[in-house]
Amino acid sequence: MVFDPTHYIATGQQFQLQAKTWDDLNMFLHKTGFKLVIGLNVMLRDGTRWNPSNAKLLLKYSSDKGYPFAGIELGNEPNLFCQHWNTTVSDVQLGRDYKELKQVVQRNPYKSSLILGPDIAGYKDKFINNFLSNGGVSVLDVLTIHHYYFNGQTAKLEDFSKSSIMDKLISELHTVAGIVRNHHGLVAWLGETSSGYGGGTPGIGDRYVAGNLWLDKLGASAKYGLKGVLRQGFFGGHYSLLDSNSDPNPDYWLTLLYRRLVGNKVFDIPSSSDNIRLYAHCTKLNNVYNYEPGSITVYALNLNTAPVILTISDLHGRSADAFWLTPEGGDLKSQKVRLNGKTLELVNNQIPQMTPRHLGNRQMTVPGNTFGFIVIPDANIAACQSQGHGTIIG
């Protein structure tokens, strides 16, 4: 794609991004409060090198309009160029292209925007290391990889509830965490992620059961130190947060609760079974529920069909609030989700009240094939009295 504010650029096979479309997008972002990470076209080249002229045109136009960018990246899934475009940009050359990008950004008002990359599909050790050692490490603020569990077009319902599939992500996160530790100042994000690549799984990827993979991915990413998780996608495909009528799909409500409840400090919480997935954080400060600093939020997935009793030894006997999400009608492929038994849906295009169930100090029972959040308001955890910048979930 090339930016064409005048309609006079001879683009050949390239798609054109016209000024009005760009203006409309930025107006939408302004109204919603979304932050934008832009991906510049790395396929515009002079021989083997990236040609930044069109990128400069876009940055100049955007700067003159006052459009903010949270981040800037160059290209998308470069390790798949040969498969999709019958061309290649090597890991070594991409590192050099990123050095050119840094110089371009430093000469305009976006020099404070994060530089992200290389945005490769899956973790590829050789590609990452060659990219970093040939300029990437001197340029990047954020190391980004894409992650999908499987081919969305061939996935089955049971794939969305298998701990063995969830565990495949763990090894990648562990490796990424090691890369970040070896490069001071670098952080890592999942720069694009969902359940299945190829547009998602029809009739499943945007239904209740897909929340298993999404919530576990959020928990595992935080546990292994990633600082951002960017969800594919907001609208469109079979894995979006909104349906074709712009009404929320189940993962929308799950994401909203996560954003409201989960803070940025992470605790290690053991589980007695691979089918009981547990994660714990400080509760988000200044939350809409007025939970005090020192509170802790546990989120849990029960992949078993039978309910289980959840016991957290250090917090035994303390009162708790539950935000439990279940599928309407008990159907894992339901496009409607219930919070503590009440179906969630917009009320006059507004978010409804999403109130917890007060458990008191009773035992916490996790229903089969469900997931949700448990807040212990009076946990009085010293580490949760103050928190810094947290994980970006987008």
Helix (H, G, I), strand (E, B) or coil at 184: coil
Extract the tokens encoding 323: 């935000």
Question: Quick check: 120 and 79 in contact, CB under 8 A?
Answer: yes
Cα 366 from Cα 325, distance rounded (Å): 10
Indicate the DSSP class of residue 140: -
Phi, psi of 271 (to 5 degrees): -130, 150
277-283 long-range contacts (CB < 8 A, ≥24 apart) are: 277/163, 277/166, 277/215, 277/216, 277/219, 277/301, 277/303, 278/310, 279/218, 279/219, 279/220, 279/222, 279/223, 281/222, 282/381, 282/383, 282/384, 282/387, 283/375, 283/377, 283/384
pTM listed for this prediction: 0.94
Q: Is 77 a catalytic residue?
A: yes
pLDDT in single tens digits along all 394 residues of the chain? 889 887 665 555 567 888 999 999 999 999 999 999 999 999 999 999 999 999 999 999 999 999 999 999 999 999 999 888 889 999 999 999 999 999 999 999 999 999 999 999 998 889 999 999 999 999 999 999 999 999 999 999 999 999 999 999 999 999 999 999 999 889 999 999 999 999 999 999 999 999 999 999 999 999 999 999 999 999 999 999 999 999 999 999 999 999 999 999 999 998 989 999 999 999 999 999 999 999 999 999 999 999 998 887 766 678 899 999 999 999 999 999 999 999 999 999 999 999 999 987 777 888 999 999 999 999 999 999 987 655 566 5
46: Cβ contacts below 8 Å, ≥ 6 apart: none
Q: Is 158 a catalytic residue?
A: no
Angle at 104 between CA 103 and CA 107, to 5 degrees: 90
Extract the tokens encoding 196: 């299945």
- Which listed residue (192, 292, 328, 345) is catalytic? 192
Pairing label, strands 357-360, 320-327: antiparallel
